[in-house]
Amino acid sequence: MRFPICIAVGCLLLLHGCKPKEEAMLDVIQRSMNVAIQQSKAMANVLNVSDTILPRSIDPSTGALVTSNSRWWCSGFYPGTLWFLYEYSQDSVLRVLAEQYTARIEREKFTTDNHDVGFMLYCSFGNGLRLTGNKSYPEVLSTGSKSLASRFNPKVGLIRSWDFNKDKWQYPVIIDNMMNLGLLMWKFKNSGD
């Protein structure tokens, strides 16, 4: 009789000992942010082969990094991520990287052929300005907001998303336009325009 009880108690102790420890949420967040910082720095090292490329995706068939130039509609996301990681960590290396990769998309301030200027510039230059007060960033944001506003049609009352497929679409507007409004709101707040 003692043997089965010992086995049962032993099994319970074993099962209880195998139960994973619950990790405090702040520890999970900190561990995750540390991985994000490490991976973002590693990404920057890979991208240093050229001063014009930015990350785009990972090719699922090869696992290779796919890059783009600043013209890709998500080009501001990586610099924006670097700014957010800098804000979290106050790591000066991240600030330098954020400045470096933000500069790679400055030419997009003149983009007038699509609505993605807000994605490109406000994630990068907007966060950079918010966190550093860099005196050159307002000009980029101001010029970019004028470029974006050039897509507004007062008769329609909307910003046109794209110019292609004019034979199919009269005036394409997609939900992504909402994210681009932050750039226009910044311009209004800082100039009244």
Tens digit of each residue's pLDDT (9 = 90 or more) over 32-91: 999 999 999 999 999 999 999 999 999 999 999 999 999 999 999 999 999 999 999 999
Q: Are strands 54-58 and 65-68 parallel, antiparallel or unpaired?
A: antiparallel
> Does the residue 98 lie in any domain?
yes
**Catalytic residue (one of 51, 59, 163, 176):** 176
- Could you confirm whether 91 is annotated as catalytic? no
**Catalytic residue (one of 59, 116, 163, 193):** 116
The position carrying tokens 């979290």 is 88
Percent of the chain with pLDDT over 90: 80
Taking residue 122's Cβ as centre, other Cβ atoms within 10 Å add up to: 26
CATH number at residue 149: 1.50.10.10
- Residue 9 clears pLDDT 80, i.e. is over it: no
Domain boundaries, position 35: 26-191
Q: How confident is the model at residue 164 (pLDDT cuts 50, 70, 90)?
A: confident
> Does the residue 183 lie in any domain?
yes
Asked whether 54 and 40 are in contact (CB, 8 A), the reply is: no
- Indicate the number of domains in the chain: 1
- Could you confirm whether 116 is annotated as catalytic? yes
Average pLDDT for residues 164-183, to the nearest whole number? 90
C-alpha pair distances (Å), 171 with each of 129, 160, 166, 181, 190: 33, 6, 8, 18, 30
> Does the residue 7 lie in any domain?
no
> Does the residue 9 lie in any domain?
no
